[in-house]
Structure 1
Amino acid sequence: MHVMRIVPLSVCVSAAALLLASAPALAIGGGGTKGGSDGKGNIAASATQSRIVVKQKSGATDGEKGNLAPVDTNWEPPVCWYEPVFSPGQLKAFVDKTDGHGDVGIHESWYGKGLWTDHYKDGKASSNLDDEWSKAPGYKNYNIGKDGYFWRSVAPDDSHPDSWDCGRIMFWQNAGEVPDVPHAPTPKTLAGYAYDKIRVPDTEVELNPETKSTVNLPTWVWLDKGTFKNVKVRAELPNTGLWAETTAKPVSLNLDPGTEDAKLHPASGQCKINDDGSIGTPYTKGKAKEAPPCGITYLRASDEPYKLNASVTWEISWEGSGGASGDLPDGTFETDKDMTVQEVQAINR
């Protein structure tokens, strides 16, 4: 067996001795059999695969898309939580079919049918992989005849150090109830999970001039109306009644000219989204010398192309079951364009 948990040496030694004495076939750390889904949302043996169902409710469905980068770099989606994975009959079938090879928690896998039948069929207590190494009471005959589910910890990234916070081995909860334990799922958990699944359209701005500009000649930047719409993603956790809808609303286009020798329009470099969903104003002939509502005037020629960065900021809000709601950190999605700036002063547009 292998223990990967970072704990004081004395605790680690005693814990290892306990596991060797009580469960010689127990493997800890590797996550065990990383099964997946059967295509119907049924998880086999993996504690890295969630049963949460995510669907996009609104927003662009075609074209290039990508994931948002949270403005708050310290924010991250939920690391671990618990969710229902087996009914009594499903657990019995799983043990019989696999001979008991699979995850009983994020960092704990049981290899050997006897380990599973001892605890879940014959009532033998086991140990949780938590800070206290608390006892987990056993069950009789997989709780067949009772209405409920066995819940197991889930961590999409089981290498994350905080994934150790969900250390209980798979446990029982009556139907229609969410367990009263740390890291039990909430609508906010689902909202954060959905945030990580949001895909927004590529920030493909229109430019005039498109890739070559001239010193002191304004470059107009715009996005046509209808390009950016609210993106709504719904996450549901089956057999819990929990759900959340996370909405990303585009609010501004932010410009970075790639050099200090430039003037931004507006001066903040933040172009607000218009009421019709457009950004800026398309260039029309005869406005070459005018300052655009959204754009850049380069003040010095470039030896090498400047990297014009355009990023759209999206406000994130959510609502969920039980009337819960809240906000999450803004997200951005950006793109770069090479801009060559020359000294020629003549205007031919």
Structure 2
Amino acid sequence: MLNRHPMIRRAALGLAPALLVATGLTAAAIPPAAADPEPRCSIGSCDDDDGGSEAESGDGSVTIFVWGSGTTGGGEGYEIPGESVTVLPPCRYFNTTWSGKQYYDMVQSGEWVGGRDEDGNPIPPYPGYEAYKDDTEGRWWSGMCSSADYDGPIEDFIEFSNDWFDNEFEPLYVEPGEPVPVPPIPPEVLVQVAYDAMTLPDPQIGWNPRREGDGATFVNLPTWMWLEDGPVTLEVHAEAGANEARVEATMTSMNFSASNAAPVSCDGHGVAWTSGATSDCALTFTRSSAHLPGGITNVLAESEWAIEWFANGVPEGPLDPQTTSATFGLPIAEVQTIVTR
């Protein structure tokens, strides 16, 4: 049984064959294809320069370019190498597998049924289909929209898909060697790609006091903690066609805890110890680690990151924050003193 969202009925039936999935429900207006005794035509690795579909698979996948940059606690900038990511956009073309001749024969024989529009009128055949009536190499590409591939409210998806079918989509005939049609990729899709591509680093921690040789700190002395010169801001861009999304992550705080010290939470990434500096980011250990396995105390360091995103340079608000963590072993030594009177 087919289910249709009432607001997207026209999008599903307005141009056939079209397929639309909304809130997990499927609506289809795809007539049965004629038997295809010919080999499937591979349009061949014809990636469009702006990020093309995987023509051979016929699934409408689109390649998105992702790159980024960051700054360290020392203020130095660095680049994150670019890479290509393949995704299924919410509205896309798909290969019907019909050659020009097959489609022409279906229309002429009455086997092709295009459905009806909002007003109940029959949907006409693809424009210009007669021009390909003798062609057996190319393939017709039609359109579909799927809310499963749209990261946003269903109302926004409906608006986006209706706009695509109304203003951008038309069935296309693609000859072997020609670029596969590439639909627009909305920022809501790009931001998810950028967010998924952002790898936040585990914190690398410095501390003081730090005894030469074994790196030990000491009982009952505040031990400063800070992030070594690692990333404190990151941004990742995802771009396809005319749209770009940018995700920015900023380290907002660090937390430290250990079994024999009161936990501490610090704004920012801490302050590296220097003579005369001040910091409230310190653990005070109450017992040495000599009795523990390996002679060390395990310290948990967590870094918290606030994340925002931008669509074509316009701020769009926060995304879910992230936390990274690392555990490191710290020797805790005692300082022996002699008291005299």
Give me the TM-score of the superposition, normalised by structure 1. 0.50
The unaligned stretches of length 5 or more in structure 1 are: 1-10, 27-32, 64-78, 86-102, 105-109, 128-135, 158-164, 178-183, 274-278
Aligned residues: CA RMSD: 5.2
Instruction: Tell me the residue number matched to 1:293.
Output: 280
Q: Does the 8 Å contact 1:318/1:325 carry over to 2?
A: yes
Instruction: Tell me the residue number matched to 1:319.
Output: 310
The unaligned stretches of length 5 or more in structure 2 are: 1-24, 37-41, 72-76, 81-86, 116-122, 132-140, 150-156, 171-183
How many residues align structurally? 242
Matching of residues 1-349 of structure 1 within 5 Å: 22=32, 40=49, 41-45=51-55, 46=57, 47=59, 49-56=61-68, 58-59=70-71, 60-61=77-78, 81-84=89-92, 113=98, 118=103, 124-125=112-113, 139-140=126-127, 151=143, 174-175=167-168, 186-208=186-208, 209=210, 211-223=215-227, 227-238=230-241, 241-257=242-258, 259=259, 261-264=260-263, 269-273=264-268, 279-284=269-274, 293-302=280-289, 303-304=292-293, 305-321=296-312, 323=314, 325-342=316-333, 344-346=334-336
Identity of aligned residues (%): 24
- Partner deviation per Cα, 1:92-137 (whole Å, 9 max, x = no partner): xxxxxxxxxxx65xxxxx7x65699549x9693589xxxxxxxx99
How far apart in 1 are the matches of 2:32 and 2:261?
Answer: 70
Post-superposition offset of 1:82: 1.5
Q: Does the 8 Å contact 2:215/2:330 carry over to 1?
A: yes
The 3-state SS of whatever aligns with 1:328 is: strand
How far apart in 2 are the matches of 1:38 and 1:329?
Answer: 34
Alpha-carbon spacing, 1:199–1:220, altered in 2? closer, same or farther (3 Å): same
Alpha-carbon spacing, 1:200–1:341, altered in 2? closer, same or farther (3 Å): same
Q: Does the 8 Å contact 1:50/1:154 carry over to 2?
A: no
Alpha-carbon spacing, 1:246–1:126, altered in 2? closer, same or farther (3 Å): farther
Post-superposition offset of 1:201: 4.5
How far apart in 2 are the matches of 1:142 and 1:271?
Answer: 67
Alpha-carbon spacing, 1:230–1:155, altered in 2? closer, same or farther (3 Å): farther
Query: Which shows bigger deviation, 216-225 or 329-338?
Result: 216-225
How far apart in 1 are the matches of 2:128 and 2:102?
Answer: 8
Post-superposition offset of 1:255: 1.7
Post-superposition offset of 1:221: 1.1
Instruction: Tell me the residue number matched to 1:30.
Output: none
Post-superposition offset of 1:141: 5.4
Q: Does the 8 Å contact 2:100/2:129 carry over to 1?
A: no
In the alignment, residue 64 of structure 2 is paired with which amino acid? I
Alpha-carbon spacing, 1:306–1:154, altered in 2? closer, same or farther (3 Å): farther
- Larger gyration radius, structure 1 or structure 2: 2
Give me the TM-score of the superposition, normalised by structure 2. 0.51
Post-superposition offset of 1:330: 1.0
In the alignment, residue 90 of structure 2 is paired with which amino acid? Y
Q: Does the 8 Å contact 1:124/1:137 carry over to 2?
A: no
